[in-house]
Amino acid sequence: MRKGVLARYLIGVHLGPFLFALSAITGLIFVNAIAQRVDSLVGKGLPWSVIGEFLLYSLPHTIALSLPMSVLVAVLYAFSEMAASNEITAMSAGGVRPSRIMTPVVGLGIIATLVMLFFNDTVLPESNHALKNLLLDIGRKSPTLELREQVVNELKVGTGIDRYFLTADRIDHETNELDNITIFDANDPLRQRTTYAASGEMAFNDARTDLYLTLHDGFVHEVQKDRMGGFQRLYFDQQIVPLRDVGNELDRRLGGSDRSDREMGFALLGENARSREAQLDSVFQENRLKALEAVRVALNQPLEADTAWAVEARRRDLTGVRRTASYISQDGLTQQLVAGTRARAARASALEQAINRYKVEIHKKWAIAFACLVFVLMGPPLALRFPQAGVGFVVVASAVIFFVYWVGLLAGETMADRRVADPAVTMWLGNVIFLAIGITLLRRMGHSVGTARGGGMGDAIADFFGGRRDVGSEAGR
């Protein structure tokens, strides 16, 4: 059999199942993803063009999950059908070596890997960024989608003249819960009010035009400019802040917001990681300089520059404190040292977490792409071990394998984000394990005795994987 004919045949055998699996799996995941977000679209009077744009931008994220799984389904189904119809036996009988059969299949896996790398580097980040911007624009009609964590969020009410500024350390868009909330209200020129709360919830009226913030365990600072030194503090266990008419028009912005790690390609992820590493080095350098400065102060040694420490020392000397007193024992200095060290440590921790997050996303994009090649190597020996199992085996095996792989990938991402292990280990562990399983199955396949008809299939499979048994030894048993 000519190489070109065999290659075209194997490609054709895989192409149909792959396209069918890609369409079916993408459709199922896509419908489930849309169902989770349908509440954010229904009842807002959005034009159909905006809804279509939303569906279009949501599709690439679904394809990123379904494409590797479709590769696995196609390989399992194609080899299972060829084994069941004795095509593998015929190829082996015709002198076709295993390398000739596997070469086109591995080539398809390499092509799928390259396509996924390009997809993860360009299409997926841009679609995620466009989708986030669209949701933020829609969020102007529903502020729960617009509010972002640890950012000053501007909320316009009524005609847009009155404005509130809100910050929160954490915002859960699924449950509409907030933590560590600050609301600044400067609409009254004679009253500037700042509200602080430990937690809170967001809720809308039926028309979804008015936003109600229910705040818990907080207090209100009010500066009264109509009288000299006017100030009051009010404590509350629960307070409801109504925000009427919080924007009811879809305002499409030109440009975009800042990109998260899921909205960056490889180049941008690497650039951000290197930038954070440089900032982290500067924090460590600053920490070392401050430590040396603190030692000088503690030993009553002159500082190299006129700093706040020196000013504080002169002030204390004038009030009667002896020059020979140890500065480290003074409460003010100690508090400044502790506060500065804690601030730098918190900044360093945030930078390390950001660096880790960027590295996790880089390894994740590469690992998902190479999963296509791993599944191509794993699928043939697994399918040939069960030549008569049929479509049911293909569906169950694909679902189980990909479920285990994806759970491992998510667990690895969580561990890497928490800096329990290095991203290079956690994100690639699933590929390494399944690749080892595939190689093991390839080696053991030569000892298989399962056949589709009589004993011919087992011998053909054993010969296909280079594990032909000694006929004489079998006869002598």
Give the model's pLDDT for residue 473: 40
Dist. CA 134–CA 374, nearest whole Å = 36
Per cent of the chain over pLDDT 90 is 18
Q: What angle do CA 243, 245, 250 make, to 5 degrees?
A: 125
Instruction: Judge whether 147 and 281 are in contact, CB under 8 Å.
Output: no
| Dihedral angle sign, alpha carbons of residues 75, 80, 85, 87 | positive
Alpha carbon 62 to chain centroid distance?
A: 14
The pair of three-digit structure tokens given for residue 167, joined into one six-digit string: 């910050």
Give the model's pLDDT for residue 159: 62
In angstroms, the first-to-last Cα distance of the chain is: 37
The pair of three-digit structure tokens given for residue 268, joined into one six-digit string: 């941008």
Dist. CA 157–CA 164, nearest whole Å = 8
8-state DSSP, 208: S
Nearest to 357 by CA among 312, 425, 417: 417
Count CB-CB contacts under 10 A for residue 253: 11
Does the pLDDT value for residue 463 go beyond 80?
no
Residue with tokens 């989770």: 36
Model pLDDT for residues 33-58, shown as the tens digit of each residue? 888 777 666 655 667 888 888 888 88
Residue 181 pLDDT level (bands cut at 50, 70, 90): very high
What average pLDDT does the segment 304-316 reach?
43
Does the pLDDT value for residue 405 go beyond 80?
yes
Q: What angle do CA 45, 51, 53 make, to 5 degrees?
A: 140
Give the model's pLDDT for residue 309: 41
Query: Residue type for 36, please?
Result: Q
The pair of three-digit structure tokens given for residue 365, joined into one six-digit string: 């994009």
Dist. CA 75–CA 10, nearest whole Å = 10
Nearest to 438 by CA among 475, 384, 363: 384
Edge-to-edge strands of the sheet including 177-188?
153-157, 162-172, 177-188, 191-204, 211-224, 230-243
Instruction: Judge whether 106 and 377 are in contact, CB under 8 Å.
Output: yes
| Cβ-based neighbours of 144, under 8 Å, separated by 6 or more | 173, 176, 202, 204, 211
Q: What angle do CA 117, 58, 266 make, to 5 degrees?
A: 30
Is the entire prediction scored with pTM above 0.95? no
The pair of three-digit structure tokens given for residue 372, joined into one six-digit string: 């296509």
Q: Domain residue spans in the chain?
A: 3-138+367-475, 148-243, 261-358
Nearest to 371 by CA among 414, 327, 289, 434: 434
What average pLDDT does the segment 439-451 reach?
59
Q: What angle do CA 323, 325, 330 make, to 5 degrees?
A: 120
Does the pLDDT value for residue 314 go beyond 60?
no
Residue 472 pLDDT level (bands cut at 50, 70, 90): very low
Model pLDDT for residues 102-151, shown as the tens digit of each residue? 778 888 889 999 999 999 999 999 888 888 888 777 766 655 556 788 88
Dist. CA 43–CA 206, nearest whole Å = 10
What average pLDDT does the segment 173-198 reach?
87
Residue 448 pLDDT level (bands cut at 50, 70, 90): very low
Dist. CA 432–CA 405, nearest whole Å = 11
Per cent of the chain over pLDDT 70 is 73
The pair of three-digit structure tokens given for residue 56, joined into one six-digit string: 């279009």
The pair of three-digit structure tokens given for residue 298, joined into one six-digit string: 């503690």
Model pLDDT for residues 55-100, shown as the tens digit of each residue? 888 899 889 889 999 999 999 988 888 878 877 767 767 666 666 7
Give the model's pLDDT for residue 243: 84
Give the model's pLDDT for residue 462: 46
Does the pLDDT value for residue 452 go beyond 90?
no
Query: Residue type for 250, please?
Result: L
Long-range CB contacts (within 8 A, 24+) of 325-329: 326/298, 326/300, 327/297, 327/298, 327/300, 328/294, 328/297, 328/298
Give the model's pLDDT for residue 99: 61
Model pLDDT for residues 315-364, shown as the tens digit of each residue? 344 344 444 444 444 445 566 666 777 777 788 888 888 888 888 899 99
Outline where 119-263 has alpha helix (H): 124-139
What average pLDDT does the segment 255-274 reach?
81
Alpha carbon 104 to chain centroid distance?
A: 33
The pair of three-digit structure tokens given for residue 393, joined into one six-digit string: 């085996």
Mean pLDDT, the chain, whole residue set = 77
Dist. CA 167–CA 149, nearest whole Å = 7
Does the pLDDT value for residue 382 go beyond 80?
yes
Torsion of CA 126, 131, 134, 138, to 10 degrees: -170
Phi, psi of 180 (to 5 degrees): 50, 75
Dist. CA 195–CA 183, nearest whole Å = 5
Residue 197 pLDDT level (bands cut at 50, 70, 90): very high
Does the pLDDT value for residue 251 go beyond 90?
no
48-84 vs 391-417: helix axis angle to the nearest 10?
A: 120
Give the model's pLDDT for residue 460: 39
Helix (H) / strand (E) element for 366: namely: helix 331-384
3-37 vs 48-84: helix axis angle to the nearest 10?
A: 140
Instruction: Judge whether 164 and 155 are in contact, CB under 8 Å.
Output: yes
